[in-house]
Amino acid sequence: MKIANSKVTAERLVRDALEKAKHFDDYHIFTFIDEEGAIKKAKEIDAKIARGEKVGRLAGVPYALKDNFLSPRGETTASAHILEGFTSPITATAVEKLEAEGAIMIGRTNLDAFAHGSSTENSYYGPTLNAFDKKRVAGGSSGGSAVAVALDIVEFATGTDTGGSIRQPASFNGVYGLKPTYGCISRYGVVAMASSTDCIGFFTKSSDDMELLMSVASGQDPKDLTTLADYYNDSENKKAKKVGIIKDFDNDSVDKEIREALKKKCELLKSKGYEIVELEMPALKYALAAYYIIVPAEVASNLSRYDGVRYGFRSEKSGDLDKLYANTRDEGFMSENKRRIMIGNFVLSSGFYDAYFLKAAKARTLIVKEYEKAFKKVDYLLTPVSPNPAFLLGEKVNDPIAMYLEDMMSVSLNLAGIPGLAIPAGMNKNGLPLGLQLVGPRRSDKSLIEFSKELI
């Protein structure tokens, strides 16, 4: 990525990014752009460079922030009506770390409200358009961030991935997207969706950029006790020999051209001396059902805090306190938010807890073990990210199950806490990007990113 120095000023980099953001305004990428604030920060960095002072590893690098990261610059809306008007007094740890190294946020990006969705169509502010075809979805939930990087507006963008929300939009727009090992990057100051699967990650244009961002953002944070020290740097840079492909995903439910792209990459790996091993992983078939029990349960709990009293939107409809809560939540949430909250309350309610929530938690164990077994046989797995390339706007928005099936090959990683890196894998015959994901065991993030260079 371009970093400011004595020849290229931060102000130039930031002004270029802002100009491009304006040029691509019709893609609905941003929920907020901070021209003044970004230029001010750029000038500060340029002054430091002029004085010969030390600047950070990301000096003057313009980036886009998914609008579910808290920062006092602009409202944090999570693209949800219920957070309208909320300006955070605190800053997310990830944002602090990036900005301490000199990265400059130019704007906040659109998402499915509260990151519930796979197309960015569930945003209160309307959908983001795909970088390669404006009639198609950006993917989601981090659609705005993916398109901001794909259209080369910014050098990188932040994302969150609870079940595929970084990897799927990355693959729909032909960029790199990493969902790290659970606990790599602090979740402090990021709007919570499902606490046991939420991961912070990035969109970039190369593996090297991803490596740099991970070395900046990962690490232990006393404000998020699920982070552990050296999660990222602990990963030994071992020499990989075997790459697994999952037989269970090689069928008609996955687009033919995606399966062909996978085969091509396997041929490439073989020509470089790697062994390709075909694995059966039958437990993964149940990952999506388990995910859509566990995640809604955590969503119902995490989203119970939005009541119109302490911050954000409050319904105008008068009445007593109970009506204030119910009207605010009814008007403030999108349909998909409501579906997930209600499913969550269903699977947790008495009489159904054992049959659904407990059952899903046991299925999760089987999924964790399935991956442990696989990584005894191979170093990494290479799989599709989603069953299809970017679909048409409106195609799946009224069919929740069709939308959920988008995540059939991505959610199991979140349930197991393991890393997945979405990499570009060429184009289909209609000029849409195809993506694949490299999957590794826990804490293998660094070597996984390094290994992705073998696939170019």
Partner 1 sequence: MEIKREDILHLANLSNFSLSEKEAGALEKDLGGIIKYISQLDELDTEDVEPTYQVFEMENVWREDEILEQDASREELLKLSKEVIDNQIKVPKVL
Exactly one of 267, 365, 373, 394 binds partner 1 (CB under 8 A); that residue is: 365
Q: CA 1, CA 213: separation in Å to the nearest integer?
A: 11
431 binds partner 1 (CB under 8 A): no
Exactly one of 111, 343, 393, 438 binds partner 1 (CB under 8 A); that residue is: 343
Q: CA 38, CA 14: separation in Å to the nearest integer?
A: 7
Cβ neighbourhood burial of 206 (10 Å; 0-12, 13-18, 19+): middle
Residues in the chain: 456
Read off the tokens for 138: 């950006």
Exactly one of 279, 311, 353, 428 binds partner 1 (CB under 8 A); that residue is: 311
Q: CA 50, CA 44: separation in Å to the nearest integer?
A: 10
Exactly one of 65, 341, 378, 381 binds partner 1 (CB under 8 A); that residue is: 341
69 binds partner 1 (CB under 8 A): no
Q: Which is nearer to partner 1, 39 or 90 (CB)?
A: 90
What single letter denotes the amino acid at residue 109?
T
Q: Which of residues 141-200 bind partner 1 (CB under 8 A)?
A: 182-183, 196-197
Q: For the CB of residue 357, give the shortest distance to partner 1 in the complex, in Å.
A: 9
Collapsed DSSP state (helix, strand, coil) of residue 324: helix
Indicate if 218 belongs to the active site.
Answer: no
Give the list of residues 6+ apart from residue 275 with CB closer than 8 angstroms, or none: 241, 242, 243
124 binds partner 1 (CB under 8 A): no
89 binds partner 1 (CB under 8 A): yes
Q: Which is nearer to partner 1, 206 or 327 (CB)?
A: 327
- Residue from 71, 141, 142, 412 carrying the catalytic annotation: 141
Exactly one of 342, 394, 430, 453 binds partner 1 (CB under 8 A); that residue is: 342
Indicate if 141 belongs to the active site.
Answer: yes
Closest CA to 149 of 187, 112, 178: 178
Exactly one of 23, 247, 319, 453 binds partner 1 (CB under 8 A); that residue is: 319
307 binds partner 1 (CB under 8 A): yes
Q: CA 49, CA 430: separation in Å to the nearest integer?
A: 46
Closest CA to 397 of 335, 342, 338: 335
427 sits in which H/E element: strand 420-427
- Residue from 145, 165, 218, 452 carrying the catalytic annotation: 165
Q: Which is nearer to partner 1, 256 or 401 (CB)?
A: 401
Count the site residues for partner 1 by CB under 8 A.
66
Q: Which residue in this structure is represented by tokens 């119910």?
A: 326
What single letter denotes the amino acid at residue 286?
Y
Contact assessment for residue 302 and residue 160, using Cβ atoms and an 8 Å cutoff = no
User: Residue numbers of the site for partner 1 (CB under 8 A)?
Assistant: 86-87, 89-91, 182-183, 196-197, 222, 225-226, 228, 283, 286, 289-290, 292-293, 300, 304, 307, 309-312, 314, 318-321, 323-327, 329-330, 333, 335, 338-339, 341-343, 345-347, 349, 356, 358-366, 368, 400-401, 404, 415-417
Q: Which residues are catalytic?
A: 66, 141, 165
